[in-house]
Structure 1
Amino acid sequence: MGKPTGFLEYERKVSEAESPKDRIQHYNEFHTYLSKEDQEIQGARCMDCGVPFCQSGILIKGMVSGCPLNNLIPEWNDLIYRGQWKEAVERLLKTNNFPEFTGRVCPAPCEAGCTAGLNGPSVSIKENECSIIERAYEEGVIKPNIPKNRTGKKVAVIGSGPAGLAAADSLNKYGHEVTVFERSDRFGGLLMYGIPNMKLEKRIIERKLDIMRTEGVKFINNANVGQNYKKDDILNEFDAVVLACGASNPRDLKAPGRELKGIYFAVDFLKQNTKSLLDSNHEDDNYISVKDKNVIVIGGGDTGTDCVATSLRHGCKSVKQFEIMGEPPKERTANNPWPQWPRVLKVDYGQEEFIEMYGRDPREYNISVKTFEGDESGNLKTVKTVRVNWEKNEKGAMVPKEIEGSEEIFEADVVFLAMGFLGAEQYVVDEFKIEQDARSNVKAEYGEFKTNVDKVFTAGDMRRGQSLVVWAIREGRDAATKVNEYLGN
């Protein structure tokens, strides 16, 4: 695939990013993508490896290697190398409903599994994917494709995140009448309000939603099933239901002083910031502002990074990011070989911006919060921490052990809790009376997606727990297939 010697002849090249000092002045995407000719050369770097781990989507030691969607990566790399862009997007859309989303926000497990990456830089698969779909939009290749035949069956999809949208899009293509219910004012779920605009501009989501509407999908916003919409009404009206409400129950930190003013869940900070940006360009002040404030972000994942980047754009006084785990190695270790997901130090856009501004990484590793301290008015003022070592307990599990005498005090006006999520919100589960597993996710066998309630299916983070956008799309697609079978189509 591609040019057999391309990976030897051409260097990996990716889009150029706007300088951190410039891009923190706005909330727009900040990459300038390669020219058509340069992107075709990147397609040529895809080697004829024989066993394309890039599209495998297998789990190795609990981590994914290759694309969970099983995207036909060598095929469309070859096609763009040959300048056959229309054929490339046709192959891409066979496995991925939303490459315009994954081409921007996916962490690219495909590149981690790329054979070229065994001894050098991997193929720039993620940017090849984004270029294929964006060129298709620019050249008018992407058009609404209205189903020719309708089955007469009606399906409700609860939640409009990536799993819900993938299920709705796929079910509509099968010919069913699909209605998507979303509790928020805008559609897209975590794509809309959980991911900042600079990572995924919301016009990209709206562009796809407009196509889905034209193709026949109905969307109802401000529809909070379990509150202003009851499950009996939905079950009576629809022939099948797909629950795709995400894992939106944030993990809390039970430390003394948690009740102080100034401590927020990261998801609330990010949602309010994006909503205010879209509603009024922040002129309505309906968001948590950290301008001129000392900020501490607790959590080292993508959400924590988004909080760092957003705080910098607000003009915060300072920002630190706490991570209870140790600092990852800069290169793969012997017990983390290719094609496993590389457990190495990642400098994401938020840290990159901070380093450019202040000359150091904002992250503190092996650190745990002991207490929050406030003033007489109940406002947060400081955070007391302790350093930890990771040691095996009597059961052989690694646990954090406090280091005596390592306590520190950090100034903090605002703290954002970005420690992940614990499953779906309980009121939706209670409304449908569906079973949950030990991790508080909705219980449904992978590959079947059927809950214990007749004609109710589930997919995405609500079923599997907090995960990647690409996994949500895969689950939405597969759940749609099972619903289609259930409806006898």
Structure 2
Amino acid sequence: MGKATGFLEYAREKSKERSPLTRLNDWKEYSAPFSDEKLSRQGARCMDCGTPFCHMGMEIQGITTGCPINNLIPEWNDLVYRGKWKEALDRLLKTNNFPEFTGRVCPAPCEGSCTLAISDPAVTIKSIERTIIDKGFENGWITPRIPEKRTGKKIAIIGSGPAGLASADQLNQAGHTVTVFERADRPGGLLMYGIPNMKLDKGIVERRIKLLSQEGIDFVTNTEVGKDITAEQLRKQFDAVILCTGAQRQRNLDIEGREAKGIHFAMDYLSSTTKSLLDSNFEDGQFIDVEGKDVIVIGGGDTGADCVATALRQKCRSVVQFGKHPLLPATRTPENMWPAYPNVFSLDYAYEEAEAKFGEDPRQYSIQTKKIVADENGHIKELLTIQMEKVQHENGQYIFNEIPGTEKVWPAQHVFIAIGFEGTEQPLLQQFGVTAKNQKVVAAYGEYKTNVEGVFAAGDARRGQSLIVWAINEGREVAREVDSYLMGASVLP
């Protein structure tokens, strides 16, 4: 695939990004695509490796390895190298409904399992993917695909995140009549309100929603199933229902002083900021403003990083991100061998921006918040922390021990909790009568059937908090199962 000696001749190049200090002055996307010439060279680095691991899509030690939607990566890498962009687009769309999303916000587990990554930097798969789909829209190659025939079957999908959109797209193309219910004022779910604009411009999401609407999918917004319309009504009106409500129950911080004012869940912060930006360019004031304040983000993941980047754009006085795990190594450890996802140190866009603004990485490692202290008005004024040591117990499990004498006080007027999600919201599930376990819908992977006839579940609502590529994977697969349920067999891949 690609040029036989390309991986020997060309080095991996980082995708083009705007200067950190420049991009902090706006909410536009921070990254930009490569030129065609550079992308051709990057595609040429794809090796003729015999057995490509980049698209295997599995979990190793609980972490995603390779592409869960089995993108035909070597094939479109080769086509990009040869300048055959339209053919590359055709191959990409065979497995991925929304490359414009994954090419921007997916953590690219495909690159971690790239064969070249055994000894050299991986092929820039994510950047190539993004450029292929962007070029498809720019050149007018992406047009509405109107199904020639309709089956007369009606399907309701609850939730318009990546799983809901993928299942809607597939089922619509199979000729079914699809209605997507979304309780927010705009479709897109996590894509619209959970990911900041500088990572995924909302015009990109709206463009895809418009295309899906033109193809025949009906989006019903500002409608919460279970309140505005009951589960019973839906089951009477539709031949099948798919629950794609996501894992929206944010994990709380059980700690002394939690009731203080100024403490917010990360998603409340991110979603209100994006909504205000879209509604009024912040003129309405309906967002959490941290300008001139000391900000602490509790939680070391991507959502926490997005909070850091958002606070920087709001001109916070300082920002620190707490993580419970130690600093990751610069290279793979013997326990983290290829092709498993590389647990190595990296500098996310938000951390580059914080370094440029304040001169240091905002992350604090192996740290635990012990107490929150409020002022006389009940508003948070500081956090008390202690450093932790990660040690391996004699039974092989790792535990965290406090290190005496490492207590510290941190000033803060705003704290954002970004420690993950517990599962999906339960009232809707109870109304449908579906079985849930550990806050997730019980429905076997590959089948997606709940205990209620005609009701299916997919995405984070079923598997718990996960990656966008797993959501698309499950959205595509549940569509095939629903198609078989309604028609006796399925024409879907």
TM-score normalised to structure 1 length: 0.98
- In structure 2, the residue matched to 1:326 is 326
For residues 276-318 of structure 1, the C-alpha deviation after alignment (integer angstroms, 9 at most, x for no partner) is 0000001110000000001000000000000000000000011
CA contact (8 A) 1:390 1:401 kept: yes
2-structure distance, mates of 1:454, 1:473 = 23
2-structure distance, mates of 1:265, 1:429 = 23
- In structure 2, the residue matched to 1:362 is 362
1-structure distance, mates of 2:345, 2:35 = 30
Q: Does 1:470 align with 2:469?
A: yes
- In structure 1, the residue matched to 2:448 is 449
2-structure distance, mates of 1:389, 1:356 = 30
For residues 290-349 of structure 1, the C-alpha deviation after alignment (integer angstroms, 9 at most, x for no partner) is 000010000000000000000000000111100111111111111111111001112101
- In structure 2, the residue matched to 1:61 is 61
1-structure distance, mates of 2:472, 2:19 = 32
For residues 221-251 of structure 1, the C-alpha deviation after alignment (integer angstroms, 9 at most, x for no partner) is 0111111111000000000000000000000
Q: Does 1:479 align with 2:478?
A: yes
For residues 122-177 of structure 1, the C-alpha deviation after alignment (integer angstroms, 9 at most, x for no partner) is 11111111111111111110000101111100000000000000000011011100
SS in 1 for 2:51: coil
Distance 1:377 1:480, change over 3 A: same
**Which one-letter code corresponds to 1:386 in the other structure?**
I
- In structure 2, the residue matched to 1:135 is 135
- In structure 2, the residue matched to 1:246 is 246
Cα root mean square deviation, aligned: 1.1
- Identify the range of structure 1 (252-261 vs 6-15) with the bigger mean alpha-carbon deviation: 6-15
- In structure 1, the residue matched to 2:151 is 151
- In structure 2, the residue matched to 1:309 is 309
* Alpha-carbon distance, 1:399 to partner: 2.1
- In structure 1, the residue matched to 2:186 is 186
After TM superposition, the structure 1 = structure 2 runs for residues 7-406 of structure 1, keeping only pairs within 5 Å, are: 7-393=7-393, 396-406=396-406
* Alpha-carbon distance, 1:397 to partner: 2.7
**Which one-letter code corresponds to 2:457 in the other structure?**
T
SS in 2 for 1:54: coil
Structure 1 unaligned spans of 5+: none
**Which one-letter code corresponds to 1:470 in the other structure?**
V
**Which one-letter code corresponds to 1:18 in the other structure?**
R
2-structure distance, mates of 1:165, 1:120 = 36
CA contact (8 A) 2:366 2:388 kept: yes
TM-score normalised to structure 2 length: 0.97
CA contact (8 A) 2:373 2:380 kept: yes
CA contact (8 A) 2:33 2:130 kept: no
* Alpha-carbon distance, 1:58 to partner: 2.0
CA contact (8 A) 1:14 1:33 kept: no
Calculate percent identity across the aligned residue pairs: 54
CA contact (8 A) 2:425 2:439 kept: no
2-structure distance, mates of 1:52, 1:451 = 35
**Which one-letter code corresponds to 1:458 in the other structure?**
A
Q: Does 1:415 align with 2:415?
A: yes
**Which one-letter code corresponds to 1:288 in the other structure?**
I
* Alpha-carbon distance, 1:405 to partner: 2.4
- In structure 2, the residue matched to 1:429 is 429
How many residue pairs were aligned? Answer: 488
SS in 2 for 1:104: helix
* Alpha-carbon distance, 1:37 to partner: 2.1
SS in 2 for 1:224: coil
**Which one-letter code corresponds to 2:100 in the other structure?**
E
* Alpha-carbon distance, 1:392 to partner: 4.2
2-structure distance, mates of 1:183, 1:290 = 27
- In structure 1, the residue matched to 2:460 is 461
* Alpha-carbon distance, 1:72 to partner: 0.4
2-structure distance, mates of 1:18, 1:12 = 19
Runs of 4+ in structure 1 deviating by more than 6 angstroms, as ranges, are none
* Alpha-carbon distance, 1:56 to partner: 0.8
**Which one-letter code corresponds to 1:480 in the other structure?**
A
SS in 2 for 1:386: strand
2-structure distance, mates of 1:191, 1:162 = 7
For residues 255-293 of structure 1, the C-alpha deviation after alignment (integer angstroms, 9 at most, x for no partner) is 011011000000000000000000000111000000000
* Alpha-carbon distance, 1:44 to partner: 1.2
